[in-house]
Chain A
Amino acid sequence: MFPESPLIQARALTKRFGSFVAVDGIDFDVAPGEAFGFLGPNGAGKTSTMRMIACMSPVSSGTLRILGMDPITDGPNIRRRIGLVPQEDTLDLEMTVLDNLLVYGRYFDLPRKVIRERARRLLDFAQLTDRANDKVDPLSGGLKRRLTIARSLISEPELLLLDEPTTGLDPQARHLLWDRLYRLKQQGVTLIITTHYMDEAEQLCDRLVVMDKGRIAAEGSPRELITRYSTREVLELRFRVDDHAPLAAQLAGLGERIETLPDRLLVYTDDGESAAKSVADRGLDPVASFVRRSSLEDVFLRLTGRTLVD
């Protein structure tokens, strides 16, 4: 294999459930060592795509090659080399933290001694060493997630699939997880991450695709996407009205573009401060007004007309 040949190559990749199309002919490549993201709202088809990559769900049509192999004929050989952190934890709650690692390690064809050695290191990595002999059930969501990640690494995978790794965790737990994932990336593990958090995508992904309704709406690095689909800054305005739509007309011409959301107006401009001044000059009196940098959330809004998290 050439070093630059992709680790994953998908062409017209499609997943159907009966007549329902969950993934609608998507194309993407993932290069070795990259952190690649699928950003999209609920039902976008992220998990369906992940399960196909993990060779746990057959491709309906199109082609998919993973590590140069075909999931149809080489499922076990591919899975041997990838780690999966599923959207919903599949930890054995009745077992101890350590046993979860040991039992999982045996599913891969690893000698017990190697499993023990790795389990010890992974507990350390996941900062779970002092909980090694505790049952999993009472652990917090963040600890369980860290254990799931540790478990997925027991086979020392080249490719790690993370399906919404931090959904439902508090900010502190999320930052700790991000830190661990960042270290894995430094070690050369290729990461594929699905998320509906734009901050997570911005933090972790070198490159991502924005997914909506089974399709890819755009592809690029977080920076590229923001430059391409948004302005440098955004002015957010909130007024004391039930419906913000009629006010949009009065802001016409203030920025490159104006988005109307039920509870606020967004003015897209490269200079938020001067736009805010113009709002005051026009005699408008918002209850809240602030300027922020554009984010992937704005990219998503631009591409789909909807917000990511609702």
Chain B
Amino acid sequence: MITAPARRPTQESAHRIWRSYLYWTHIYRRTWRASIASGFLTPTLFMAAMGVGLGTLVNHHGSSAHQLGGVSYLDFIAPGLLAASAMQMAAIEGMFPVMAGIKWIKFYQAMLATPITVTEVLYAHLLWMATRVAMVSSIFLVAMFAFGAPRSAEVLAAVPVAVLTGMSMAVPAAAFTATRESDQALIGVIRFVVMPMFLFSGTFFPVTQLPAWLRPLAYATPLWHGVVLCRSLSLGDASWASSLGHVGYLLAFIAVATLVARRTFSRRLAA
């Protein structure tokens, strides 16, 4: 028998999370080329069509330049899109692979027959989701530079903010998915939660353009906090106080969602 070197329980647990994480890196070896290619394609298409194409119209409209705070439309939406695409991608990563783990392929069950625990399986998968969002957001940032969108070097901090924004969607999505029997409801979530958030949380136009009664809803979405913070980092007008406020909101959202996910995962996988 091979005996493991002595570790403290928390170290043991961290090590098991790492071992579970290796599953994801293994799977990724099959798809990384395609995923990097599409990682460049998406922001390029968005920025070309919306930032440059649509932007030409917006920029020539006197009052809209004022609404946007005197910046070009490309500079305005590029950082917003960074946060919004992180959210959208994370939502999908938080749903379908989780369903695969529980039902379609059952790799969660396979892991749970080994020393790895349910919480560790969850944490490893969340860590992988964060890794994926970080990769895609970094690629997005490179594309932003290619379009000349960022106005400040602070934009580098927008990548971790995009990761937090993504996780604020991925964790609740994973928690919810663990309560479902099929992907039917997941498609509903994309249509009725992810898409409206994507469109109305300040990515494409300031939330102040929304009817007054709708604005509080937009402010409550984690995406709005991510969009606003990424934008001010890219434009170079971020203040410490508001930045910490946004980050705090995102972290709190993720923390609560993680507690819920621990419960739904345990109920589903360790009943």
Contacts and interface: CB of A to CB of B under 8 A. Distances in A.
Contacts of B114: 79-80, 104, 107-108, 155
A94 B104 CA distance: 11
Contacts of A91: 110
Contacts of B107: 90, 92
Contact of A92 (B22, B105, B270): B105
A54 B115 CA distance: 10
Contact of A57 (B26, B106, B110, B270): B270
A76 B116 contact: yes
Interface in B11-41: 12, 15-16, 19-20, 22-23, 26-27, 30
B271 A57 contact: yes
Given A76-B117, A106-B19, A106-B22, A114 B270 contact: no
B26 A111 contact: no
A156 B1 contact: yes
B4 interface: yes
Contacts of B146: none
- Of A56, A58, A99, A107, which is in contact with the most chain B CB atoms at under 10 Å from its CB? A107
Contacts of A77: 115
Contacts of B241: none
A246 B58 CA distance: 92
Interface residues of B, number: 27
A76 B109 CA distance: 14
Contact of A90 (B23, B106, B271): B106
A17 B30 CA distance: 40
Contact of A104 (B16, B30, B110, B117): B110
B244 to A, nearest CB: 38
A86 B115 contact: no
Interface residues of A, number: 31
A75 B117 contact: yes
A118 to B, nearest CB: 10
Nearest to B118: A56
B2 interface: yes
Contacts of B116: 76, 107
Interface in A95-124: 99, 103-104, 106-111, 114
B112 interface: yes
Given A17-B271, A90-B106, A92-B107, A56 B26 contact: no
Nearest to B9: A76
Given A103-B23, A110-B2, A79 B15 contact: no
B45 interface: no
A54 B16 CA distance: 18
Contact of B26 (A99, A114, A155): A99
A255 B271 CA distance: 48
Nearest to B18: A106
Interface string B111-138: 1111111000000000000000000000
A93 B100 CA distance: 12
Contacts of B19: 106-109
Quick one: which of A17, A75, A88 has the most chain B CB within 10 A? A75
Contacts of A205: none
A192 interface: no
Contact of B270 (A17, A58, A103): A58
A277 B185 CA distance: 67
A86 B109 contact: yes
A84 interface: yes
A94 B100 CA distance: 12
B115 A88 contact: no
A103 B113 contact: no
Given A75-B115, A90-B106, A94-B30, 14 more contacts: A54-B113, A57-B270, A57-B271, A84-B113, A86-B109, A86-B113, A104-B110, A107-B110, A107-B114, A107-B116, A108-B114, A109-B15, A109-B115, A152-B113
Interface of A: 17, 54, 56-58, 75-77, 79-80, 84, 86, 88, 90-94, 99, 103-104, 106-111, 114, 152, 155-156
Q: List the 3 closest A-B pairs by CB distance, nearest first.
A: A107-B114, A76-B115, A90-B110
